[in-house]
Structure 1
Amino acid sequence: MNAGEGFFAPAGACRLPAGRWRDGRLEHATELVADEVPVALVYNGISHAVMLASPRDLEDFALGFSLGERIVDDAREIHDLEVEEAAQGIAIEMRIASGAMMRLKETRRARIGKTGCGLCGVESLACFDDEACAAQAQGGEARFDPEALQRAMAGMAARQDLHHATGAVHAAGWADGSGELLCVREDVGRHNALDKLVGALARARFDSADGFAVVTSRASFEMVQKAARAGFPMLAAISAPTALAVQLAERAGLTLAGFVRGGRHVVYSHPQRLAVESG
């Protein structure tokens, strides 16, 4: 079944006219397409970043982004948060603690978010190395059954209503030690999906170290960085990692698994959390 055929339009999707070529014929149809809008993150009246994102779960996104970029150290430093429609997109207005705002002013830099990769505007190679060293995973000596990875990844499909409708978004999920998914968030950008997950867990007051993160994308440097900063002990990706991501995961104490699908996976760092005898 094609995206849009027989599907209701979930939040974050819209119907657009299209021409569908099938069995040698052109048919006029409507297709469900994922929404992608500019979202401005505004702190105490100052616009800090503009990200391209799916217009759903934006409160989670704002909190997760703020924590992941270390704009705030704790959710309680955000005193007020409002999502407002704007002429060109959406503005998320946040009022943050004075200490957090002072730190933000010291480090503020202009950036434009994209659905691809980037280094979030670090100013030099030295700054980049400092950023890499700052990420530290939590979870101590947490152990996970390898089957929990497979169970969590297999369960992701049933929780991705926006992807089922449009075929155009990524998802990030959080599973407990048994692999049961307790929270899933979707977005056109894989980084955004992980930010939304981090924000959702913080709002619900879950301890991210009590489970692990699964993502329906590759594991890039920034995905590992966000996972480590959020305190996940393990990140499991359906696709491959990059070499830089593996190096960061090793330094940060994060267990990184890739190609988690079809009953198989590859562990690239800190395999002790998946304690089984090698075969």
Structure 2
Amino acid sequence: MREPVHQAQRKVWRNGALSDGARLIPEETALALTYNGGTYAVMMGTPEDLGDFAVGFSLSEGVVQSADEIETLDIVELDDGIELRMWLKSEKAERLAERRRHIAGPTGCGLCGIDSIAEAVRPAAIVPAGRAFTPREIMAAVAAVPPLQEINHQTRAVHAAAFWTKTGGIVALREDVGRHNALDKLAGALARDKVATSEGMVLLTSRVSVEMVQKTAAIGAPLLVAVSAPTALAVKMADAAGITLAAIARSDGFEIFTHPERVAGAVAGKESAYVIVA
């Protein structure tokens, strides 16, 4: 199987001088997801934790509702990429075949298996109330992510998605050159390990677009925390889904854009964001 990191030779121009050397960079590979012999999507991603990616993608895209609906999963390396071959239970396979008959053309790498604008911005699942979190817990969770980013330590070029619980801390973390892929890998890891997601938070090292909110809702996490800002549609989606969206998380605090009632000490006001300073 391909390694997730590649050593590249390069020349460095710095401080007026030229030198030779090598740098570790992330591998990027074509990943084809197939169901019952038919290709559903081809993504570019990091060849690591691919079983988690296959399961998480299937859940996030609504192909299956449970990891148990995937009967078999084979990871097959080809000359030009890797195929993630999944076989679904008969009822799911029939529904997927019917859905695919309505797709007019090939799918892209961002929104897969859809053929309308309405489906692209489909409502996210409603997340139950879940537990409340303290600012101290959120800041501790954010601080716990960087030391666990093994591939990023080597390359400084990949995203991470992690899941934190009060009792276990960071219970899962996945990395990928694609932020969507990292979150799908996390979703798959949580589903395969049967982690209870209603009592924890999802942490992202990227910005928050609407797809990231949809994937978090599919996971069932009540709190989404990111180091970068959200898009306007992501805020709207998180609010409708009942997700507390905290972003621009730094060492000195973070900003809450939706459902501040889950964060102890956050007082509702007229502003759209509530700034918490740790």
Provide the TM-score with structure 1 as the length reference. 0.90
Q: Which residue of 2 aligns with 1:3?
A: none
Amino acid aligned to 1:257: A
1:29 is aligned to: 21
- 1:9-48 aligned at under 5 Å gives the runs 11-48=3-40
Correspondence for 2:76: 84
Q: Which amino acid aligns with 1:174?
A: F
| Among 119, 132, 144, the residue aligned to 1:155 | 144
CA distance in 2 between partners of 1:127 and 1:215 (Å) = 24
**Residues 125-150 of structure 1: CA distance to partner in whole angstroms, max 9, x if unpaired?**
33345x1x242223x24111111111
Write out aligned runs for 1:1-279 (5 A): 11-108=3-100, 109=103, 110-113=106-109, 118-120=110-112, 122-129=114-121, 131=122, 133-138=123-128, 140-177=129-166, 180-278=169-267
In 2, Cα distance between the equivalents of 1:32 and 1:146?
A: 36
Q: Give identity over the alignment, percent.
A: 43
Aligned equivalents of 1:134, 1:16: Cα separation in 2: 41
> Structure 2: which 5+ runs fail to align?
268-275
Measure the CA separation in 2 of the matches of 1:141 and 1:232: 8
CA distance in 2, matches of 1:168, 1:217: 12
Partner Cα separation in structure 2 for residue 179 and residue 145 of structure 1? 16
Q: What whole-Å deviation, never above 9, does each CA across 1:95-135 have from its counterpart, x for those lacking one?
A: 1111111221122243231xxxx444542333345x1x242
- Give the 3 Å change call, closer, same or farther, for CA 17–172 of structure 1 in structure 2: same
Deviation at 1:277, TM superposition (A): 4.7
Q: Name the SS of the counterpart of 1:82 in structure 2.
A: strand
Partner of 2:271: none
Alpha-carbon distance in 2 for matches of 1:206, 1:158: 22
Q: Which amino acid aligns with 1:112?
A: G
Q: Secondary structure at the match of 1:228?
A: helix
TM-superposed CA distance for 1:245, in Å, is 0.2
Q: Against the structure 1 CA distance between its residues 141 and 211, is the aligned structure 2 distance closer, same or farther, given a 3 Å change threshold?
A: closer
* 8 Å Cα contact 2:130-2:198 kept in structure 1: no
What SS does the corresponding residue of 2:208 show, helix, strand or coil? coil
